[in-house]
Structures are given as C-alpha cells and as structure tokens.
Amino acid sequence: MPASRLSNLFGLLLALVLGACSTAEADEPGGTVLTNFTLIDGTERPPVPDAAMIIGGDGRIAWVGPATQLQAPAGSETIDLAGQYVIPGLIDLHVHLAISDGLATDPALLTPENIERDLRTYAAYGVTAVQVMGTDRDDIYAIRDAQRTGRPESARIFTSGQGIVFEGGYGGAPGVNRPVSTPEEAAAEVDRQAANGADFIKFWVDDELGTMPAMPPEISAAVIEAAHRHGLRAIAHIFYLEDAKRLVEQGVDGLAHGVRDRPVDAELIEAMRDRGTWQVAETLSREASMFAYGEPAPFLGDPFFTRSVRPEVLARLRSPEHQARIASNPHFHDFPRFLEMAKTNLRRLADGGVRIGFGTDSGPISRFPGYFAHWELQQLVDAGFTPAEAIRMATGQAAEFLRAEDLGTLEPGHWADLVVLEADPLADISNSRTIRSVYIAGRPVPLDLNRGAGEG
Ligand SMILES: [Zn+2]
C-alpha cells in the first residue's frame, strides 16, 4: 500500500477518533448562531456592526464575522440579536469568594455552596471569570479543576489559595490564612500553595494606615523568590508608593490595588514598564465604597443593584445608624482623596505604558459581587478612560494577565464567554448594565438570582 494511502487511512482513523471525542463532549451538536449584533470583541479592533457568530457544540467560537458571510451549520439554532451589542464576558481580577454574607465576615460562610452562589451572581452580572486574591480554602481546587475539565455554568475561577500574611499584620481572612513570621516560614507557605496548584501567589504589604505592622522587606523578598522558583507570579496588596517601589525592585509581578498615598512618580512608572510589572487592578470601586455608605448611597434603589442584595443587607445600608457609623470612621474624610489619588495614578500608569488589568476587590462586607464590576467600569470612565478602553481592560487585557489564551476576546477557538447588551456601552458605559443574556462556554446562564432564597 503506498505511503500516501496509508497516511490517508491514518488521517481517516484520526478524524473518526477526534470526531467521536468531540461528539462525546458536545451536548448541543448543532451549536448556536448569534446574528445581526454589533461586535465589540475585546481586542483593539473597532466595533463591527451587523456581525454574526457561530458557537460550536463544544462551547467555543467556531466562526465570527459579518452577518452577510454567515453560513449557519445545519441543525444549529439561530438567535437574532438585531439592535444588540455583544462584548466578551467581564473578568474581575480581584475578588474574595464567600467570605461575607453582606453583614458579617465569617469563615463558616466559606463553603462550596456559597462559593457557587457567588460564582452564579458574578455570572448573572456578566462577569464570566474571577481571580480570587488569597482567601480560598483548599477545596477551591476541586471546583476550579472541575470547571477546567468541563464546561462551567458560572464564573470561571483563578485562585492563589491562601495568600501570605505577616503575623499580626493586615490581610487574609480570619480562620483561613496562616500568618508567617520569618522568610523561611513565608517560603514554606508559598511552597504549600504551589503544591496545591495555585495559579499565582498573593501577599499583603500594608500597615493599615499605621495601625498594624507591615510585612518586612526580607519576607516579601522571600515570598517573591519562592513564587518564582515555582514558576508562579507574585501579586502584592499595597497602599504606599514606597512599598510599591521596593516590591517592584524585588521583582513583584503585579500590584493588586493602586498606590493611594501620593502620586506615582517617573521612577515607579519606568520600573513597572521596563520590568513588565502589571497594575493587576486599581479597585476604584473599592475606594468609592469606603465612603459611599456614609450617606444613602445613590444606587440603593437601583434594581440592577438590589437584584442580588438580600433585604436585610439593604435595610442595613439604608439605616441612618449604619450610615452614621460609617461616617464616624476616623479616616472617613480621607477616603475620597484616596479614590482621587488612585484615579490619577491609574491614568499616569496607563500614559506611561504600564500594563493594566481590571478588578474590584468585591466579596467583603458592602462590596457586592458583580455589581461592583459595572461600578468599576464607570469609575474608569470617570478617571478619563474611554468606554472602549475600560471594556478592553476588563476583557482582553485581563485575560492577558491571566495568560488565558482562550478567554477575554471573541475570536475563533476561544470560549464563547460573552454578554449581550441592549444598548451601546461605547456610547455610554452605564449601558454595560443593559444585560439581556450572558453566555459561559456557549450556554446561557440564569440571570434570575432568587434574591435571598435559601440564605440564612
Ligand atoms: Zn482584596
């Protein structure tokens, strides 16, 4: 038998085997066709009007292009999205799952059921992937790994397991993290996270406005060195410019919040740009939330907010006593200044060519999963970014940080993680809230959050 016939035969067998595999994975063999929408694809390309997309039965994008060139596969379901806009699913690079119920922080809340509840809430707000910043228990890996071998039905997880906290210092979640006192302990704790399968290493360097001891430089150096030894990136919570500079010098891979004490200077900007250090998230909505509840916050009556907030949490946020307690924080009048500093600094970093992601620090009390991503987009526009830039930070750029090559942009071969909007988010960023449907791995996720159901 000639070699070419042999290789043809081999090719036929291979096709049969591969075909059998993909048929086994696909539960919707015909796939789904979306058509007649405006495509905002998460890259730097301009929006494409009258676009169409073929989502394969495997949940990935098989084709995307002008609707006039669409060749819908036989047996596919076609959904006409005339007048609608499609963006990639948002990626929140700074969250904490299931650490509060909106009223209190309690390690007993950190259950797989509450993690799933948060992931469904993120998904219902169009956030299709989250990066958890150091407050997970080890059971997160079973949930994450099940997602990665299948087709998730709620937001995808990236996790650092337990982040590294200095003994007596700021950070972590009570009952979850194991504080360290020496460089050796810090390195051993990083080793443990790496052995568990952490996607990256998180650590906290902050003195909480002078009220707690900060992690000493020899320990942050040990954390970064140990992370790199495992091929993992080390991401630091910071507040002060001087800490940011020292950590960048020590080789940190990203900053989990903005510098908020003073303006970033050319030295930091150049160091971050030249070393490829990411501003992983600026968490502007976190800063805004530090003072928003000192009065009746303007969104307390917004159905897009209240859809995910339990009645007793809303009642507390509306109570004058609670507002007075928030306003009595000794730093209450500093918080607006920290927000403005963070906005100014993010603009400077962007103008200086530093790579920027997107994140909210949602999950703790009064910082609401999903809603805060849309508030963050709004804050970015308030800080001087265009809606297109803000959306790109929250999609394609965030996926670049994750090194998730099949997330963040709507291109062939990528997962069909996307949000259908009823109005143009490039014309007004608040239109990111006009969510008609959300797809993860090619399937629509429930938007009904059953507010308060089944929760104590
Ligand atoms: Zn955080």
pLDDT tens-digit series, residues 32-49: 999 999 999 999 999 999
Nearest by Cα to 227 from 161, 171, 280? 161
DSSP code at position 47: P
Q: How far apart are CA 187 and CA 229, in angstroms?
A: 10
pLDDT at 26: 44
Q: How far apart are CA 423 and CA 327, in angstroms?
A: 36
Range name among 154-168, 303-317, 381-395, 437-451 with the lowest pLDDT average? 437-451
- For residue 257, the CA-to-ligand 1 centroid distance in Å is 8
Q: Which domains does the chain have, with CATH numbers?
A: 24-87+414-444 (2.30.40.10), 89-402 (3.20.20.140)
Q: How far is CA 241 from the centre of its chain?
A: 24
Token pair for 82: 């005339």
- For residue 234, the CA-to-ligand 1 centroid distance in Å is 14
Using DSSP's 3-state secondary structure scheme, residue 116 falls into helix
pLDDT tens-digit series, residues 193-211: 999 999 999 999 999 999 9
**Residue 326 predicted with pLDDT over 50:** yes
- For residue 198, the CA-to-ligand 1 centroid distance in Å is 17
> Residue type for 455, please?
E
Q: How far is CA 16 from the centre of its chain?
A: 38
- Are residues 396 and 88 in contact, defined by beta-carbon separation less than 8 angstroms? yes
pLDDT at 21: 39
pLDDT at 131: 98
- For residue 95, the CA-to-ligand 1 centroid distance in Å is 6
pLDDT tens-digit series, residues 57-103: 999 999 999 999 999 999 899 999 999 999 999 999 999 999 998 88
- For residue 217, the CA-to-ligand 1 centroid distance in Å is 21
Q: Percent of the chain having pLDDT more than 70? A: 92
Task: Say which residue the tokens 């360290």 belong to.
Answer: 180
- For residue 51, the CA-to-ligand 1 centroid distance in Å is 38
- For residue 103, the CA-to-ligand 1 centroid distance in Å is 17
- For residue 356, the CA-to-ligand 1 centroid distance in Å is 17
- For residue 418, the CA-to-ligand 1 centroid distance in Å is 25
pTM value > 0.95: no
- Are residues 357 and 397 in contact, defined by beta-carbon separation less than 8 angstroms? yes
- For residue 289, the CA-to-ligand 1 centroid distance in Å is 13
- For residue 349, the CA-to-ligand 1 centroid distance in Å is 20
pLDDT tens-digit series, residues 235-245: 999 999 999 99
Nearest by Cα to 121 from 332, 345, 306? 306
pLDDT at 456: 30
Specify the pairing of strand 85-88 against strand 418-421: antiparallel
